[in-house]
Structure 1
Amino acid sequence: MKNPIIDVIIPAYNEERSIGKVIDDIPQHVVRHIIVCDNNSSDGTGQVAEDHGAVVVHAVKKGYGNACLTGMEYLKNLKQSPDILVFIDGDYSDFPEQLPQVVNPIIDRDVDMVIGSRALGHQERGAMEPHQRFGNWLATYLIRKFYGYHFTDLGPFRAIKWRKLIALNMQDTNYGWTVEMQVKAAKQKLKTTEVAVNYRPRIGVSKVSGTIKGSVLAGQKIIWTIFKYL
């Protein structure tokens, strides 16, 4: 793939303290558009994102998947679709400057999807709670057992060919977005790989792992999604 068009989607809910840092650290010479999907934030997330040069679209219905789907709808309406779409969180827990490493397997080796694996990279102290580590291990073990695909993480930092993503027909509107993508990629026999990415404690409190309710609901949805598509 020569000189691909690369766009970035950042789902964001109340991330005004971090979203500017994420945008600023993305290697802007590599990407065409940075799309911040403001998931009905009650703070200044959208304005900060605009001030830092991102395109802001408003996802009125809350939910991680809803935000991502809203960003994809925006891209579908452009005259020229991207060749590669990158997803990254807006809480500054990922290292946006590693974007070239995440997309390179698609460009150089014609891989269809790349997962940025926090399990393979360096994690700063406190970046992931024990229940997050266990949940990732369990989910990736079940995917390997039932679908025959080896992943080490359900990390949010990932890249995928646009046409392959459209073919996945993504549906999940909240916690199951990342695992749905990986399970469907396995079912459609996409060529996938992982690259090591670093991870640090997020800015602010996680809407999922930061609460017992969020962690339980996310865990249930992830496991349910894995078995749903068998």
Structure 2
Amino acid sequence: MNELDRYLRESVWVVIPALNEEESIGLVLRDLPCVAGVIVVDNGCTDQTAVIAEQAGALVVREPQRGYGAACLQGLAKLDAMVREGKANPQSVAFVDADYSDHSDRLPELVRPIADADADFVLGSRLLGERERGAMPPQSVFGNKLACFLMRVLFGIRHTDLGPFRVIDYRRLGELQMQDQNFGWTIEMQIKASRLGLRSLEIPVPYRTRVGTSKISGTWSGTFKAGYKILFTIAKHGFLQRSSFPRVSLPKSAMPCSTER
């Protein structure tokens, strides 16, 4: 067992928010490398998602309040409780979607910079990686590019994506004091990580067509709601103090998320 495998097995916990993903959750869990633990958050499922996750060995917690951020917060609350009880000792937390669009088997690539103490926050960029045709609808690509453009203008942050596939140092994550309970969760993390000076980078990740129908980009109403929330989150944090990322030595495949001056 190499050092990265040991770090994954002993120090990495994975949080997976899920809403009616019975067709895909088993595939996501199957492809994950061996990690310290997996928390699947049942965000009001009416199908067999929770049952399948439990059968696959995941710890399932329930968050009846619908919302991506609410589910993530509940998963972290459970992990925090386990830490206090001495049942978990996470060094890093990964977030993966339950719809099988993320390649969960690529998790080690995102974990490595943190395990090597080269970064505190690693974002998997779908726009830098290879995407299956139709994996990201045009409105999603446009929305991501617009949000990243606004972050660059307002904060000087050079991000290319708001993708859900990400890994962050557990202790630094606590410092962010995450609050958003809906679609603004990912961008809140990226903005706060910048403000607090986390060493951040992006790594290209492949992205495939999800299993089933998207609850967000699958409909224009869902896309509009997500877009509104993301823009609102950017505007809300636009009045807060800017900060910069310390520079780190990066592998050639990684792209630093620096702050312009």
Give TM class, smaller chain.
over 0.9
Shift of 1:227: 1.3
Name 1:203's counterpart in structure 2: 211
Name 1:126's counterpart in structure 2: 134
Q: Distance in 1 between matches of 2:116 and 2:202?
A: 14
Q: Distance in 2 between matches of 1:11 and 1:97?
A: 17
Shift of 1:65: 0.6
Q: Read off the aligned partner of 1:116 and give its amino acid letter.
A: G
* Corresponding pairs, count: 228
SS across alignment from 2:93:
strand
Moved over 3 A (4+): 1-4
Q: Distance in 1 between matches of 2:176 and 2:78?
A: 17
1:67-101 Cα shifts (integer Å, max 9, x gaps) = 10000011001113410000000000010110000
Q: Distance in 2 between matches of 1:143 and 1:186?
A: 10
SS across alignment from 1:77:
helix
Name 1:171's counterpart in structure 2: 179
- Asked if 1:66 corresponds to 2:74, the answer is no
Shift of 1:110: 2.8
CA contact (8 A) 1:66 1:174 kept: yes
Q: Distance in 2 between matches of 1:185 and 1:54?
A: 28
Q: Distance in 1 between matches of 2:80 and 2:55?
A: 24
Shift of 1:146: 1.2
Q: Distance in 1 between matches of 2:186 and 2:153?
A: 18
After TM superposition, the score normalised by the length of structure 1 is 0.96
After TM superposition, the score normalised by the length of structure 2 is 0.85
Q: Read off the aligned partner of 1:144 and give its amino acid letter.
A: R
Name 2:92's counterpart in structure 1: 84
- Asked if 1:215 corresponds to 2:223, the answer is yes
SS across alignment from 2:57:
coil
SS across alignment from 2:22:
coil
Query: Residue 187 of structure 1 is aligned with which of 195, 198, 202?
Result: 195
SS across alignment from 1:10:
strand
Q: Which aligned pairs between 1:143-162 and structure 2 lie closer than 5 A?
A: 143-162=151-170
Bigger radius of gyration, 1 or 2? 2
Query: Residue 36 of structure 1 is aligned with which of 32, 36, 40?
Result: 40
Q: Distance in 1 between matches of 2:183 and 2:157?
A: 21
Q: Distance in 2 between matches of 1:186 and 1:25?
A: 31
SS across alignment from 1:106:
helix
* Unpaired segments ≥5 residues, structure 2: 239-261
Shift of 1:43: 0.4
SS across alignment from 1:14:
coil
Query: Residue 20 of structure 1 is aligned with which of 14, 21, 26?
Result: 26
- Asked if 1:95 corresponds to 2:99, the answer is no
> % of aligned pairs identical?
49
Q: Read off the aligned partner of 1:41 and give its amino acid letter.
A: C
- CA RMSD between the two structures: 1.2
Q: Read off the aligned partner of 1:17 and give its amino acid letter.
A: E
CA contact (8 A) 1:102 1:114 kept: yes
Shift of 1:109: 3.9
Q: Distance in 1 between matches of 2:157 and 2:103?
A: 26
Q: Distance in 1 between matches of 2:121 and 2:169?
A: 7
